[in-house]
């Protein structure tokens, strides 16, 4: 829905500017940053472990599914896409900084990290606190910092100041999506949190082992009990440190009576085994495999992944948008929020050719619709936009063309089909009236004999089921003709 400039000025509403009291900001209040300030920043240790790659992979797959503002019929079947401001946010541009796909990925990552996410309409054509009939112009994902009975405090990026600001909004005016996998990802004792703590512990151990310390014990050939012996031992230790620091290759010498013991040998523990166990447990609970992460999963594995992991999350997002951003009147009019996944992304070229034949032959997709799926431009043939089976012969009326005026609906004068005895399984012989120039000298039409022989060969090549079908159709035609004759009498 397009709005004129005057309507935008008169009715426009912004979540940051329409607060009490209104803060007047000048041009010098804005500031610039070297990094993007509205980018999602993972917390709780997720940004320091391999968990980030798993969450980002799932968020990318969720963002690849299209979400649209649609209209459905009484049976809930898709009819058309509604070109509204909300649909523009979901399919093209969510705000000045993000595309629609970046917004969905932002929603998924924030939901995985925090457990829930707020979908805040920042700019609307009407004040949502005064009317329910408004259209959303820009949409952003925010972090909920505080909960109230009927409102929440949201940390949201303000694109007018370039800062993240906290605003209090009503729960009825924003979408609040909770992570369907909250028990697996966000609970304090969940599998993901336990794995995160183990990975952080492993990282700390690696940092200690890579700090450059040698962890040596020097056994001197005398007893250290007096103060003089301690000073002598410290001087000996300092001498070895100076030798190692000043040597090009880190070599030092000791006395033959001194003994050095190194302590930084690998200590046997079960930390890696616990990490491997928790990783496999997390993958199974999330419905993903190692093949999905490295891109070698087959079609069955990906279908299982989309149905068990991706579908519950994208369904929760779409349902919350439908519940909060569409009024009851709009829903009764058939408006809804639907999501669509391309089912041909995981299909190989060989199977794609088979599917193209099945979909067009069974009149599910037109040729041009399937050409658009594989990236080809539409054909100019009118037949390519019609749901027809190209393997069958169609009358001009079925193709949408008018029959020739000179022929009309009359059959050719020199051909008429004779009655066929269904009990005869060997011959289908049409009676053809030959022309004078087609007859041979002995009065037999050779072209008719060739045509009869060809038709007999074709009929004999059919299976028994196909022959029975032919007999059934011919019998139905004959019955209809007899009924018409009886009605005329």
Instruction: Read off the pLDDT of residues 364-396 as tens digits, 9 standing for 90 and up.
Output: 888 888 888 887 888 888 888 888 887 777 666
pLDDT of residue 151: 96
pLDDT of residue 13: 73
Q: Are residues 359 and 436 in the same domain?
A: no
Q: Are residues 47 and 158 in the same domain?
A: yes
Q: Are residues 15 and 54 in the same domain?
A: yes
Look-up of token digits 């595309």: 99
What percent of the chain has pLDDT above 90? 38
Q: Are residues 356 and 487 in the same domain?
A: no
Question: What confidence category does residue 313 fall into, taking pLDDT thresholds of 50, 70 and 90?
Answer: very high
Does the bond joining 70 to the residue before it have cis omega, within 30 degrees of 0? no
Has residue 427 got a pLDDT over 70?
Answer: no
- For the ranges 197-211, 249-263, 297-311, 360-374, the maximum mean pLDDT occurs at 297-311
Boundary-marking domain end, from 180, 203, 228 = 180
Has residue 21 got a pLDDT over 50?
Answer: no
The boundaries of the domain holding residue 371 are: 347-410
User: What CA–CA distance (Å, rounded) separates 282 from 50?
Assistant: 12
User: What CA–CA distance (Å, rounded) separates 201 from 51?
Assistant: 14
Question: What confidence category does residue 245 fall into, taking pLDDT thresholds of 50, 70 and 90?
Answer: confident
H-run or E-run covering 479: helix 464-488
| Helices 100-114 and 311-325, axial angle in degrees (round to 10) | 110
User: What CA–CA distance (Å, rounded) separates 11 from 21?
Assistant: 19
Number of independent structural domains in the chain:
3
Question: What confidence category does residue 406 fall into, taking pLDDT thresholds of 50, 70 and 90?
Answer: very low
Has residue 85 got a pLDDT over 80?
Answer: yes
Q: Does some domain include residue 482?
A: yes
Has residue 123 got a pLDDT over 60?
Answer: yes
Q: Are residues 51 and 158 in the same domain?
A: yes
Reduced to 3 states (helix: H, G, I; strand: E, B; else coil), residue 67 is strand
Q: Are residues 149 and 65 in the same domain?
A: yes
28-42, 47-61, 147-161, 336-350 — which is least confidently predicted? 28-42
Q: Are residues 144 and 77 in the same domain?
A: yes
Q: Are residues 32 and 121 in the same domain?
A: yes
pLDDT of residue 264: 61
User: What CA–CA distance (Å, rounded) separates 84 from 92?
Assistant: 11
For 205-214, b/e burial (b = at least 16 CB within 10 A) is: eeeeeeeeee
Instruction: State how far the alpha carbon of 142 is from the alpha carbons of 38, 43, 76, 165, 355, in Å.
Output: 10, 14, 31, 10, 42
Q: Structure tokens of 298?
A: 């087959």
Q: Are residues 20 and 80 in the same domain?
A: yes
Residue (of 94, 102, 120) closest to 40 by Cα position:
102
Instruction: State how far the alpha carbon of 72 is from the alpha carbons of 84, 334, 342, 399, 442, in Å.
Output: 15, 5, 19, 28, 71
Beta strands, E only, 163-283: 163-170, 175-178, 216-219, 259-262
Q: Are residues 359 and 474 in the same domain?
A: no
Has residue 22 got a pLDDT over 50?
Answer: no
pLDDT of residue 470: 72
Higher pLDDT pick, 35 / 175: 175
Q: Are residues 353 and 421 in the same domain?
A: no
| Burial of 62 from C-beta contacts in 10 A (0-12 / 13-18 / 19+) | buried
- For the ranges 17-26, 252-261, 284-293, 463-472, the maximum mean pLDDT occurs at 284-293
Side-chain half-sphere CA neighbours of 297 within 13 A: 19
Boundary-marking domain end, from 129, 160, 180 = 180
Reduced to 3 states (helix: H, G, I; strand: E, B; else coil), residue 56 is helix
Residue (of 238, 378, 286, 275) closest to 50 by Cα position:
275
Has residue 18 got a pLDDT over 70?
Answer: no
Average pLDDT on 157-181 reads 94
Q: Are residues 172 and 50 in the same domain?
A: yes
User: What CA–CA distance (Å, rounded) separates 324 from 308?
Assistant: 25
User: What CA–CA distance (Å, rounded) separates 347 from 367?
Assistant: 18
Has residue 481 got a pLDDT over 80?
Answer: no
Please say whether the dihedral angle defined by the alpha carbons of residues 183, 185, 191 and 194, taken in this order, is positive or negative: negative
Q: Does some domain include residue 195?
A: no
User: What CA–CA distance (Å, rounded) separates 445 from 438?
Assistant: 6
pLDDT of residue 287: 92
Boundary-marking domain end, from 160, 180, 200 = 180
């Amino acid at each position: 829905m397009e709005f004129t400039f005057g309507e935008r000025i008169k009715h426009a509403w912004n979540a940051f500017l329409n607060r009490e009291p209104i803060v007047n900001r000048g041009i010098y209040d804005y500031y610039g940053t070297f990094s993007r300030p509205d980018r999602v920043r993972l917390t709780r240790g997720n940004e320091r472990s391999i968990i980030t790659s798993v969450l980002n992979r799932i968020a990318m797959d969720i963002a690849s599914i299209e979400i649209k503002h649609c209209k459905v019929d009484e049976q809930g079947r898709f009819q058309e896409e509604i070109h509204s401001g909300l649909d523009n946010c979901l399919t093209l541009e969510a705000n000045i900084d993000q595309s629609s796909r970046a917004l969905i990925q932002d929603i998924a990552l924030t939901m995985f990290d925090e457990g829930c996410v707020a979908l805040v309409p920042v700019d609307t054509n009407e004040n949502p606190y005064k009317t329910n009939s408004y259209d959303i112009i820009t949409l952003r994902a925010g972090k909920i910092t505080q909960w109230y009975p009927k409102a929440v405090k949201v940390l949201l990026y303000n694109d007018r100041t370039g800062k993240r600001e906290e605003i209090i909004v009503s729960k009825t005016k924003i979408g609040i999506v909770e992570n369907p996998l909250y028990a697996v990802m966000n609970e304090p004792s969940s599998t993901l949190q336990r794995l995160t703590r183990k990975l952080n512990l492993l990282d700390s151990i690696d940092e200690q082992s890579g700090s450059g310390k040698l962890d040596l014990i020097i056994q001197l050939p005398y007893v250290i009990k007096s103060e003089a012996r301690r000073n002598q031992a410290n001087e000996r230790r300092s001498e070895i440190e100076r030798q190692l620091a000043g040597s090009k290759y880190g070599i030092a010498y000791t006395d033959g009576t001194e003994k050095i013991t190194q302590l930084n040998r690998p200590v046997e523990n079960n930390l890696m085994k616990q990490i491997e166990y928790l990783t496999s447990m997390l993958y199974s609970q999330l419905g993903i495999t190692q093949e999905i992460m490295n891109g070698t999963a087959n079609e069955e594995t990906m279908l299982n992944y989309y149905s068990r992991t991706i579908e519950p999350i994208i369904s929760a997002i779409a349902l919350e948008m439908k519940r909060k951003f569409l009024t009851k009147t709009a829903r009764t009019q058939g408006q809804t929020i639907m999501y669509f996944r391309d089912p041909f992304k995981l299909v190989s070229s060989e199977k794609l050719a088979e599917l193209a034949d099945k979909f067009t032959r069974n009149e599910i997709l037109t040729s041009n619709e399937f050409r658009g799926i594989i990236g080809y431009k539409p054909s100019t043939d009118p037949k390519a936009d019609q749901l027809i089976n190209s393997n069958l012969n169609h009358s001009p009326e079925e193709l949408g063309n008018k029959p020739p005026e000179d022929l009309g609906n009359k059959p050719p004068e020199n051909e008429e089909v004779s009655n066929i005895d269904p009990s005869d399984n060997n011959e289908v012989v049409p009676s053809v009236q030959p022309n004078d120039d087609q007859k041979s000298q002995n009065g037999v039409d050779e072209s008719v004999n060739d045509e009869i022989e060809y038709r007999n060969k074709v009929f004999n090549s059919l299976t028994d089921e196909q022959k029975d079908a032919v007999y059934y159709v011919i019998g139905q035609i004959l019955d209809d003709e007899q009924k018409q004759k009886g009605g005329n009498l």
